[in-house]
């Protein structure tokens, strides 16, 4: 499959009622157990990294198809569904929404202790994927949800979501560890997302390579020199396209962070992102200096290239992947048949699947 990327959904308030969430948990467990039994836990990761399949899964579980809450509720149901059976199913799900997302490293470490695994590579993958989508890709969406899924073999996937308060839209980001050759150069295998809402600074685009290199080099400069240059730039009338870089940059507030990066002397851009305290403002400042002082241009191409939807029989906005859908439906039907849910719940779930079939 190998398709990862982003998806845009409108922000909706409220939460899933208990009667629905309980059923979502039961069906999620049946689905995951059957998928692992038939195709292994790595197939689950591949599916979760596909924003189209993940959206379809949320619909099959009964959630509002175009709500931002589908992401957080579906991930929550998946996480809850495997509690107590993680070692036997070969899947661990960590993180979640808000404050829970900040506990992801601790949850990874605890889960790794169960398997006797070294947690460091997974904790690093979790933190770096979040850093990339919040600081290296500045598209106006603030990350507030981060779910990290991994197997005892060290394979992993990430589903995280950001919100834009101004547009009232959320954007979901998917990662598949097996497809990530470089955390800071085109880490998403493909991008399936919504129309850009504003100018985007994309430092993980391949064409941003010179800017990434120069930005890391600038972090080795003494903070007082960088602060001095930034104060000069603040007084200039820069071209409009620089607004995303110069806005919200307060040179005086950056001094402590720049000192930290100077003392750590990161070897490259990925190392710079890994420095604690280095966030969007620091990256914007160094990128601006890189362009003004050395002419190294960064990409302003939004990684989300087209609107998210389920697809349709008329090919708008994209043709339905029938073989993929058929395989998904087959796996889900077997999962439902093998589950121990009540008869009415089975019929409700099958009706949803039948609708998927008839529309494909």
pLDDT in the model for residue 216: 94
C-alpha to C-alpha distance for 28 and 237, rounded to whole angstroms: 55
Mean per-residue pLDDT of the chain: 80
Could you tell me if 270 and 128 are in contact, meaning their C-beta atoms sit under 8 angstroms apart?
Answer: yes
Residue 13 pLDDT greater than 70, yes or no:
no
Q: Average of pLDDT values for 278-293?
A: 88
pLDDT in the model for residue 119: 98
pLDDT in the model for residue 305: 47
Q: Average of pLDDT values for 55-60?
A: 81
* pLDDT interval class at 178 (50, 70, 90): very high
Bond into 170 cis (ω within 30): no
Q: Average of pLDDT values for 39-63?
A: 86
Output 311 or 196, whichever has higher pLDDT: 196
* pLDDT interval class at 318 (50, 70, 90): very low
pLDDT in the model for residue 341: 57
Residue 257 pLDDT greater than 60, yes or no:
yes
- Helix (H) or strand (E) holding 336, with range, is helix 322-338
* pLDDT interval class at 288 (50, 70, 90): confident
Residue 221 pLDDT greater than 50, yes or no:
yes
Report which of 166, 170, 199, 208 is spatially closest to residue 68, judged by C-alpha positions: 170
Q: Average of pLDDT values for 174-198?
A: 76
Residue 83 pLDDT greater than 70, yes or no:
yes
Output 61 or 354, whichever has higher pLDDT: 61
Tell me the domain boundaries of the chain.
6-197, 206-294
Q: Average of pLDDT values for 125-148?
A: 93
The pLDDT > 90 percentage for the chain reads: 41
Residue 108 pLDDT greater than 90, yes or no:
yes
C-alpha to C-alpha distance for 176 and 159, rounded to whole angstroms: 9
* pLDDT interval class at 220 (50, 70, 90): very high
């Amino acid at each position: 499959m190998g398709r990862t990327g982003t998806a845009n959904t409108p922000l909706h308030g409220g939460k899933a009622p208990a009667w629905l969430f309980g059923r979502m948990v039961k069906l999620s467990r049946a689905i995951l157990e059957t998928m692992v039994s038939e195709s292994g836990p790595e197939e689950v990761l591949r599916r979760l990294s596909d924003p189209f399949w993940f959206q379809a899964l949320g619909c099959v579980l009964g959630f509002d198809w175009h709500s931002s809450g589908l992401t957080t509720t579906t991930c929550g149901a998946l996480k809850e569904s495997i509690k107590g059976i993680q070692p036997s199913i070969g899947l661990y799900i960590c993180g979640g929404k808000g404050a829970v997302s900040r506990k992801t490293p601790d949850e990874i470490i605890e889960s790794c202790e169960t398997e006797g695994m070294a947690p460091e590579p997974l904790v690093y993958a979790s933190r770096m994927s979040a850093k990339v989508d919040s600081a290296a890709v500045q598209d106006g969406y603030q990350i507030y949800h981060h779910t990290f899924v991994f197997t005892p073999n060290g394979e992993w996937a990430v589903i995280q979501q950001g919100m834009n308060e101004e547009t009232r839209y959320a954007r979901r980001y998917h990662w598949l560890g097996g497809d990530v050759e470089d955390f800071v150069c085109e880490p998403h295998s493909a991008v399936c997302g919504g129309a850009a809402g504003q100018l985007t600074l994309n430092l993980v685009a391949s064409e941003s390579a010179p800017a990434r290199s120069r930005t890391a080099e600038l972090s080795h400069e003494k903070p007082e020199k960088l602060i001095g240059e930034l104060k000069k730039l603040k007084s200039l009338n820069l071209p409009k396209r620089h607004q995303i870089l110069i806005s919200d940059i307060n040179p005086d507030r950056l001094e402590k962070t720049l000192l930290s990066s100077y003392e750590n002397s990161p070897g490259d851009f990925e190392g710079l992102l890994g420095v604690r305290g280095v966030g969007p403002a620091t990256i914007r400042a160094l990128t601006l200096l890189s362009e003004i002082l050395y002419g190294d241009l960064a990409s302003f191409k939004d990684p989300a290239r087209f609107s998210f939807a389920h697809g349709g029989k008329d090919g708008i906005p994209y043709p339905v992947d029938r073989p993929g859908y058929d395989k998904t439906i087959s796996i889900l039907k077997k999962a439902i048949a093998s589950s121990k849910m009540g008869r009415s719940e089975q019929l409700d779930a099958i009706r949803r699947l039948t609708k998927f079939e008839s529309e494909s």
